[in-house]
Amino acid sequence: MLFNPINKSYYDYAIERDKEACINCEVCVRQCSYGAHFWDDVRKSVRHDSSKCVGCHRCEAFCPTACLTIRHKPTEFRENAVWNPKFLKYIYKQADTGGVLLGGMGCPTNIPVYWDKLLLDASQVTNPSIDPLREPMELKTFLGTKPSRLEFEEASEGPRLKTKIGPQLELEVPIMFAAMSFGAINFNLHVAMARAATASGTMYNTGEGGLHRSLYKYGKNTIVQVASGRFGVHSDYLNAGAAVEIKIGQGAKPGIGGHLPGEKIDARVSETRMVPIGSDAISPAPHHDIYSIEDLHQLIYAIKEATAYTKPVSVKIAAVHNAPAIASGVVRAGADIVVVDGMRGGTGAAPAMIRDNVGLPMELALAAVDQRLRDEGIRNRASIVASGGIRCSADAVKAIALGADAVYIGTATLISVGCTVCGRCYTGKCPWGIATNEASLAKRQNPDVAAEKMANLIKAWGHEIQEMLGGMGLNSIESLRGNRDKLRGVGLNDTELDILGVKHAGR
């Protein structure tokens, strides 16, 4: 009989240490929050335990002599087309623990990424390209309900708009920082996102963890979220932001709720979320006052009443098979913005089986939602935001061409401040100081430095979007929205092309 659980023999990464280069400085010991490196008093040297390595690469990045290399463990299971090694490891682990397998970040499963099978059109002679360095190029985006027609009236100073337009979110670029709750990520990162959004003229989303009162001053660039747990939701909170988002579903875990472990709930998180220190914060799967579109309508208008009809209300849904019908109901219920969140969206923690097997790629859901709202003649009544798996500016441009007004970026935001997508967010031991509230780790993120990096990312993507628009002969992001003729598919079948509403390359 084995004395150690069998799954401990089948770990994922191997730490290689060049003993000639290692100077036993213990930097790796101090940097590894998982205890993979340690000082051996007997051998008087730094040693390591590869079974504890999560592949975050922080030790490798900080090693002053570059003596460390992190590789996938070379051990290979016997080849089997059905029993992929990951399933063997899953079973070994569950046989030992009897627990649900957890995973952080987005879905790693090899499901087609449709962005990589879509190409952008470019201009030549008859529709010449535009040079964004020398000609005006408009990226400004307004999110919110738009009237079906505009009426003007004569005034002494000239024609004056008579039609009343609902509250709008004004973005300098069509990119926003996605919902990541205070608790799932720490206070330093929330401060950084608020500052970066303000500097970039865009918005950041609080996620379902409420908003610390010290961040109310960034309200003009804040979207506050109302989720099923209603953590930190009160009148001041609803009025603190520029918009309110109701989270019905999340792309990384459609159909289930959330769970923030008690060890992540310190005094500041407790104060903001209005839950006791050290207690688990559990979000139920459904809102217990929403079981129909009529119930959702009631909540939307309760929020509009509470905010004196001065803020747009957004509703976030997961990309599932009936997302177009759901989106139609959401718009008819009074939502000003619909967020479509795909299965590649990140999360602090989700059951691995849910994360990897439930939901749809955002590209398909986005195109279907946009087309459904157009077919029903209500597309102007709500803006669409695409979320879940936006990796670069080209993905954002393609999303807008498929019908989005703007995009959310979450994982990309965290990568910009050092995240290596190791997927262990749920442990609370993030070595990069992101998904942790442990003081010694959280201080690895300087809010000023992080804000600058996030703002630089938005700035860089904005420049690239302008270049791509110019290459298509367009001088405004408005001209690209839903303009699927600017896209061509490669290696897609007829059904996929039909859902996406694009032609195959060569046509």
CA distance 244 to 26: 47
Question: Pick from 223, 224, 176, 183: which is nearest to 201 by CA?
Answer: 176
Counting Cα atoms < 13 Å in the Cβ hemisphere of 139 gives 27
CA distance 344 to 103: 13
DSSP label of 476: B
Which residue type occupies 259?
A: H
422 annotated among ligand-binding-site residues: no
**Cβ count near 284 (within 10 Å):** 13
Sign of CA dihedral 446, 449, 453, 458: positive
> Residue 245: left if φ>0, alpha if ψ -120 to 50, beta else—which one?
beta
Annotated binding-site residue? 56: yes
Report the C-alpha gap between 159 and 167 in whole angstroms. Answer: 22
Is 392 annotated as contributing to ligand binding? no
Within 10 Å of residue 333's Cβ, how many Cβ atoms? 20
Is there a binding annotation on residue 67? no
The answer to whether 107 is annotated as binding is no
Decide: helix, strand or coil at residue 289.
coil
Closest CA to 103 of 54, 176, 152, 51: 54
**Which residues does the annotation place in the binding site for [4Fe-4S] cluster?**
22, 25, 28, 32, 53, 56, 59, 63
Q: Which residues are annotated as a binding site?
A: 22, 25, 28, 32, 53, 56, 59, 63
